[in-house]
């Protein structure tokens, strides 16, 4: 079984060397050979909160080269065949770090906790204020109820695509897109 913590130890410095923040590393698919497996890496440029295609490609090359170098030294991070996927977190991004909850306060999210809190494991609502110590996030559901969730208990969380989120998200940099289209047509 792949050691996800070790994979993060390898990937994070490669992302940081390019000036990117690592958002999530995840292995998708089964090691039992049922379906195609993928090592999914999400990162962002802190200035934009996203990555453009060239940045994804650059990070993909660095990570691939690093994994290949470790394999040559005898360390297999992932046994068997897999596909490497490097992407931007997208507009309805996963919330994986405490700072994500703070940055997106006021936006709608879906949050699932590992163990039920007040008989509930799934929460949906606007992200409320976070604990300055980095231990508790809050979510305000549609009825106005505040739920206080320990950050360490969060199993998964992601933003919900809303008009408010679209309005708050920095548009992608499209500079140079016209030149690419002209080259393809020419």
**pLDDT tens column, 44-82:** 999 988 999 999 999 999 999 999 999 999 999 998 889
Q: pTM for this one?
A: 0.80
Place of tokens 């996963």: 94
Confidence of residue 36 (pLDDT cuts 50, 70, 90): confident
Tell which wins on pLDDT, 29 or 86.
86
Domain extents in the chain: 4-87, 98-168
Query: What is the SS3 assignment for 177?
Result: helix
Which fold is adopted by the domain 4-87? GMP Synthetase; Chain A, domain 3 (3.30.300)
Q: Which of 65, 16, 66 is nearest to 44 (CA)?
A: 16
Query: Average pLDDT for residues 80-103, to the nearest whole number?
Result: 93
Q: In angstroms, rounded to a whole number, what is the distance separating the alpha carbons of residues 21 and 9?
A: 13
- CATH assignment of 98-168, among 2.30.30.100, 3.40.50.11540, 1.10.260.40, 3.90.180.10: 2.30.30.100
């Amino acid at each position: 079984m792949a050691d996800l913590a070790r994979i993060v130890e390898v990937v994070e410095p490669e992302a940081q060397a390019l000036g990117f923040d690592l958002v999530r590393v995840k292995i998708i698919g089964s090691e039992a050979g049922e379906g195609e497996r993928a090592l999914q890496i999400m990162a962002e440029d802190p200035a934009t909160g996203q990555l453009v295609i060239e940045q994804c490609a650059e990070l993909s090359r660095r990570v691939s080269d690093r994994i290949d170098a470790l394999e040559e030294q005898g360390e297999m991070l992932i046994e068997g065949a897999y596909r490497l996927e490097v992407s931007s977190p997208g507009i309805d991004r996963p919330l994986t770090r405490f700072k994500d909850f703070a940055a997106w306060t006021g936006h709608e999210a879906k949050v699932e906790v590992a163990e039920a809190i007040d008989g509930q494991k799934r929460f949906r609502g606007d992200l409320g204020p976070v604990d300055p110590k980095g231990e508790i996030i809050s979510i305000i559901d549609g009825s106005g109820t505040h739920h206080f969730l320990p950050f360490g208990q969060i199993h998964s969380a992601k933003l919900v695509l809303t008009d408010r989120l679209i309005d708050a998200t920095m548009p992608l940099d499209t500079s140079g897109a016209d030149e690419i289209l002209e080259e393809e047509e020419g």
